[in-house]
Structure 1
Amino acid sequence: MSVLLFIVLFTALGGVLSVLAAAVFLLLPEAQQKNVLPHGISFAIGALLTGAFCGLIPHAFEEVQPQQLSTLSATILAGILGFFVLEKLLVWRHCHSNACEAHGEDSHDHHHGHSHGAQAGHRPAGMFIILGDGIHNFVDGVLIGAAFLTDVQLGIVTSLAVAAHEIPQEVGDFAILLHSGYRRGEALFYNILASLTTVIGGVLAYFSLGDLHDVLPYFLTLAASSFIYIAVADLIPSLHQKTDIKTSLQQIGFILAGVVLILVMQGIAHRFESVA
């Protein structure tokens, strides 16, 4: 199977399946949603961190000369700081347009589609979510494409890690669209449409990065910094809201499940690649 076909297949499946999983999740009773979503977040943390530290970073380091390792490490640091600044700018813009500080609103929760976002009730808010999701998915597609251009096994693992953190995000996006006046069918359609930008990003990466082998390790480290930042800055803090022993053990268990899945898929992908 050609690399391009792998890219198209996994970017399309990952994007569409994450949207469909989010849609199915929203069909559950609200009580079950509250029970299931934290487990999905814990699972995503394990998948993202394992994809970064056991997949993307080692492969990036293997692709460069020893004297370039410090530059790659600096790229990871710059990526994490860059994502912090970007999110800070987005939060600042949101607060100034919605006066969240004046009302004591947690803008981070609003961004992920919790109850504060449900009060907006304006179609423009929904369109902003669709546009932002499309851009985010496009970048994910570029990173997945860069991973596949480096190694098919790495591409498969990266696609799984992206899908793991996309599902909780898509749930939030779906909820915002519904509360912005969109019918369920419309919300599903626009979410799937936005998810297809992942394919566009992957295909663009294939044709634009295919001849730029020296650039690929830097894309891999940027992808790793993205995974690390999402897990550490966005997802882990939400787990600290509950500190009882039972919940903490469940969180650890699902994080480990995410770790194990990525490691197992790495082994399966490696064997599949060897046979192919």
Structure 2
Amino acid sequence: MSTLAIILIATAAGSLLSLLLAAVVALSARPSWVPVLVSYAIGALLGASLLEVLPEAVKMNGDIDTVSKALLGGILLFFLLEKLVLWRHCHDEICDAHGSHDHGHDHGRSGLMITVGDTFHNFVDGLIIAGAFLVDFRLGVVTALAIIAHEIPQEIGDFLILLHSGYTRTQALLLNLLTGVATMVGALLGYYALSMLEGWTPALLGLAAASMLYVALSDLIPGLHKRAEIASTLQQLVLIGLGIGSVALAGYVIGHGH
């Protein structure tokens, strides 16, 4: 079997496995649980961006300046993207997207942005898997398994954000499946043009981190302030901590597995 075939099988299997495992957890949640579980999604996004994605981007070439600029540019990009979604939904001066969320969701804003960000992230995952297999088969297998382990908490968070954003369970599943295609694209480009794209990888990771941070801090955390009671606040803090902890634990296990 050719190296390219192995790379494509590994990326496809990894995307499907992480998606299915995340779907089993996320889609078994009752609709009434979604506002509560959004706290976990916030933690997973903060943990993935600050503990995994950004450190990995800096490690790749040691150039924190490039990563910082990509992160800043990404935050501005997602701010403009959110504005575009708002303009699309609003034809009057006052509307649901500008004011209260009468239907319990945000008209797809955070869902759309997390989908775009996840596409960047999956594309980079494909590049990384292809590069590892080109270096060594065993390294490729270990890398693919590591990415699956890191993707599961992130995919759970993405599902919850899409449901919170007003998408149906079927739509959330299809959107996450489509973003998985970016892994295959990244793997193909990585195989054929890794040397040319390698310099762009830290910047792409910076954009992926920007999407996670923007959604968590701008769209999701403000919604938690609607429940200001001490018991609700403690529950939110615990779930955010669990989200961060799940990402940190996955990184610790994989790191010591090497």
TM-score, with length taken from structure 2: 0.76
In 2, Cα distance between equivalents of 1:44 and 1:136: 15
- Quote the offset at 1:209 in angstroms: 3.3
- Quote the offset at 1:10 in angstroms: 3.1
Q: Deviations over 1:167-203 (max 9, x none)?
A: 2134247x655xxxxxxxxx73x55444322331101
In 1, Cα distance between equivalents of 2:112 and 2:214: 22
- Quote the offset at 1:241 in angstroms: 0.7
- Quote the offset at 1:164 in angstroms: 3.0
| 1:106 aligned counterpart, secondary structure | coil
Match of 1:198 among 174, 179, 189: 179
| 1:52 aligned counterpart, secondary structure | helix
In 1, Cα distance between equivalents of 2:156 and 2:26: 11
The answer to whether the aligner puts 1:81 opposite 2:73 as a matched pair is no
Q: Would the aligned equivalents of 1:72 and 1:218 in 2 still touch at CA under 8 Å?
A: yes
Q: Which amino acid in 1 is paired with 2:17?
A: L
CA gap 1:76/1:137 in 2 versus in 1, 3 angstroms:
closer
Q: Would the aligned equivalents of 2:131 and 2:190 in 1 still touch at CA under 8 Å?
A: no
CA gap 1:43/1:78 in 2 versus in 1, 3 angstroms:
same
The answer to whether the aligner puts 1:92 opposite 2:83 as a matched pair is no
The answer to whether the aligner puts 1:52 opposite 2:56 as a matched pair is no
The answer to whether the aligner puts 1:165 opposite 2:125 as a matched pair is no
Equivalent residue number for residue 12 of structure 1: 16
CA gap 1:167/1:9 in 2 versus in 1, 3 angstroms:
same
In 1, Cα distance between equivalents of 2:245 and 2:113: 31
The answer to whether the aligner puts 1:69 opposite 2:64 as a matched pair is yes
The answer to whether the aligner puts 1:106 opposite 2:110 as a matched pair is no
Q: Deviations over 1:108-167 (max 9, x none)?
A: 876x973796xxxxxxx9xxxx99998676445324434546783763465134313212
- Quote the offset at 1:14 in angstroms: 3.4
Equivalent residue number for residue 253 of structure 1: 238
In 2, Cα distance between equivalents of 1:199 and 1:39: 27
Q: Would the aligned equivalents of 1:161 and 1:262 in 2 still touch at CA under 8 Å?
A: yes
Equivalent residue number for residue 122 of structure 1: none
In 1, Cα distance between equivalents of 2:57 and 2:18: 23
Q: Would the aligned equivalents of 1:143 and 1:202 in 2 still touch at CA under 8 Å?
A: yes
- Quote the offset at 1:50 in angstroms: 1.1
Q: Would the aligned equivalents of 1:144 and 1:158 in 2 still touch at CA under 8 Å?
A: no
Aligned residue runs from structure 1 range 221-240, under 5 A: 221-240=206-225
In 2, Cα distance between equivalents of 1:217 and 1:205: 14
Question: What residue ranges of structure 1 are gaps of 5+ in the alignment?
Answer: 118-124, 178-186
Cα RMSD (Å) = 3.5
Q: Would the aligned equivalents of 2:74 and 2:211 in 1 still touch at CA under 8 Å?
A: yes
Q: Would the aligned equivalents of 2:25 and 2:156 in 1 still touch at CA under 8 Å?
A: no
Q: Would the aligned equivalents of 2:113 and 2:215 in 1 still touch at CA under 8 Å?
A: no
Equivalent residue number for residue 139 of structure 2: none
CA gap 1:139/1:219 in 2 versus in 1, 3 angstroms:
closer
| 2:226 aligned counterpart, secondary structure | coil
Q: Deviations over 1:188-225 (max 9, x none)?
A: 3x554443223311010111134122221111111111
| 2:222 aligned counterpart, secondary structure | helix
| 2:61 aligned counterpart, secondary structure | coil
